[in-house]
Amino acid sequence: MNCANLRGVIEIEESGELAVFHMGHGKANAFDLEFCEAIVTQLEALNQSSRRAVVITGQGQIFSAGVDLLRVLDGGSVYLKSFLPALKRAFETLFCFPKPVVAAINGHAIAGGCVLALAADQRLMASQAGRIGIPELAVGVPFPTLALEIMRHAVAPRHFRELVYLGATLSPTEAKEKGLVDETVDAEKLLDKALAAAEALAAVPPEVFAITKRQLCDPVMKRVREDAGRFDAAVEELWRSPATLTAIKAYVERTFKKSKA
């Protein structure tokens, strides 16, 4: 197996015709500007490579904890102006990636981390792992249009509004029942199972898989493009508003108190 690193943020491990996309950004794979840019850079390189499918996974007990809210508070409105488009590009690059992508969800996948997992073609979660869900409204922030449409694409309609409005984070078993993940497996077998799933998808002729994926994803991206003019400016304005930054600060303080209790 060959490995390549991008500034310690992402490690690509080659396994035959497959690639394992190991996220290793800090302790929680939290999205900041640099991490989003690294995701796009590595996916674009993999698209040009001979790898026929990708397995994306995290580290330790965390797949991804979502947006780095401390960085948002530190950078404020100016930082968000650069960060939110970078986050959108990272989600879009994975969601529209023409080769098969399997998410091996090794631990917590919260907010943007959940969206990243749902952007994959197939999702396996360790049965002993943490929680998965989209608590954006509980934090007090709106969904970028693309993130919401990725959710709508992946989740059964009967569960979609509940997951969005209530913002609950679910156990692996609950996540399977709600359609957030396709399968739960023992943690020790997660990567092997994900590789097997990627191998099965990679058996489809690449051109056939790519056009089929476009047929599935293009209607989603069409809705995103149509809605972007109506919603994205307002979403960005809300993220950058003093009231939202105050809500983020309060959420961070509550969360840190729980983690220390």
pLDDT digit string (tens) for the chain, length 261 residues = 444 555 568 999 998 999 999 999 999 999 999 999 999 999 999 999 999 999 999 999 999 999 999 999 999 999 999 999 999 999 999 999 999 999 999 999 999 999 999 999 999 999 987 999 999 999 999 999 999 999 999 998 899 999 999 999 999 999 999 999 999 999 999 999 999 999 999 999 999 999 999 999 999 999 999 877 789 999 999 999 999 999 999 999 988 766 554
Assign residue 86 the CATH number of its domain. Answer: 3.90.226.10
Query: Does 224 reside within a domain?
Result: no
Query: Does 215 reside within a domain?
Result: no
Query: Does 199 reside within a domain?
Result: no
pTM of the model: 0.94
* Cα–Cα separations (whole angstroms), residue 66 to 11, 40, 116, 204: 19, 16, 9, 32
Query: Does 169 reside within a domain?
Result: yes
What dihedral do alpha carbons 194, 198, 201, 206 form, nearest 10°? Answer: 160
Query: Does 61 reside within a domain?
Result: yes
Query: Does 122 reside within a domain?
Result: yes
Query: Does 170 reside within a domain?
Result: yes
Q: In sequence order, what E strands does the chain have?
A: 3-6, 10-15, 18-23, 53-57, 62-64, 101-105, 108-110, 122-126, 132-133, 169-170, 183-185
Count of domains for the chain: 1
Query: Does 71 reside within a domain?
Result: yes
Q: What one-character DSSP code corresponds to residue 98?
A: S
Full residue range of the structural domain in which residue 183 is found: 3-188
